Structure 1
């Protein structure tokens, strides 16, 4: 933790972890589309310290942050230090709240704080999470980008163990080569095309991802 000349200063452990979805190989069963949960993408945990506010809410929607190897700082979006923009912001735990937009690049988890003074005078910064989008490429949350907190149509995955997959870049430039590509999202497994070799849990109104081998 350190203080900057302006903005919010937050410390983050850059262990970027996001929810990727597990899967089962295609079989004749009529099981649900849920699989085991894998891990991928980017996220960080931050603790706010107020030095000069930019809005009524710490890392509110459309506000920007800079980031380095160990810290994230709220800065003006016009600043040359600005690196990512908040596309959605929710209070509480991510596991209990609304999902981030599909093309979110990474998630910042904000720890609850009760300083002597804050942006609205109530002496508290609630626990929450901010869904972030990089201002410039790369965008790991884009379809096939190989990261982000969600698996979406167009993403590629590789087998990471029995009943588990992880996301990787479709262009083959990631650490692992892609083995399957999610080609569609449906409500039930039975709606996947015959070419489906893998079911991937996506969440949302169409929670089953139909993946074909590459």
Structure 2
């Protein structure tokens, strides 16, 4: 999907794709497990300019409505506002800055060259916005069962074939939690003795130590 932004209308659409990167997990001393929540995609290091509503499409602190296949930028004071931008970057998600830890979902914005756009330069750059719901539930919170990143406090279950996936720690989703990430470290040797699974988190502490729940 593409997004479009008009200076007069500000009705721009974005395709929302919550992208899940597979992680790498294994039980201590056992064979490696491929898959799992790991970290989900983050993108190009160039940030989009920040400004108030209407000047830049989905800038930081601006809000969007929800739709079945598209999202529209709206004033955060609007009754249609459903989520707020907590971080915004140009480029693609792969290989760039990660979204904040408690991001609920990511909007991927395809490049457009409309006749009229937010700053008059004839282009809406490709990018992505890290979004946070204005109201609970927040799947990006620790144990929430979703979000673009796996963080300390999240739970996972075994998918089979050596893969795991995130689920809510409170058992409110269809799949019950089997492991919980209790610590993030820079090396497996620093995990607690109770660790039964290593989950790839990325960042400066890329190893998640998970124990059975």
Structure 2 CA distance for aligned equivalents of residues 130 and 112 of structure 1: 13
Q: Report the equivalent of 1:38.
A: 36
1:76-101 Cα offsets, whole Å, 9 max, x none, are: 00000000000000011111210000
Structure 2 CA distance for aligned equivalents of residues 40 and 210 of structure 1: 12
Spell out structure 1 runs of 4+ moving beyond 4 A.
1-6, 39-43
- Structure 1 length-normalised TM: 0.84
1:1-30 Cα offsets, whole Å, 9 max, x none, are: 899995333153x6543335331122179x
Q: Report the equivalent of 2:157.
A: 158
Q: How many positions carry a matched residue from both structures?
A: 200
Q: Report the equivalent of 2:136.
A: 137
Structure 2 CA distance for aligned equivalents of residues 185 and 17 of structure 1: 22
Change (3 A) 1:126 1:11: closer
RMSD: 2.8
1:56-205 equivalent positions in 2, closer than 5 A? 56-205=55-204
- Structure 2 length-normalised TM: 0.85
Unaligned runs of 5+ in 1: 44-52
Unaligned runs of 5+ in 2: 42-51
Greater percentage in strand: 1
Structure 2 CA distance for aligned equivalents of residues 141 and 7 of structure 1: 28
Change (3 A) 1:68 1:132: same
Change (3 A) 1:55 1:7: closer
Structure 2 CA distance for aligned equivalents of residues 204 and 93 of structure 1: 18
Structure 1 residue 36: Cα displacement: 3.1
Structure 1 CA distance for aligned equivalents of residues 61 and 205 of structure 2: 28
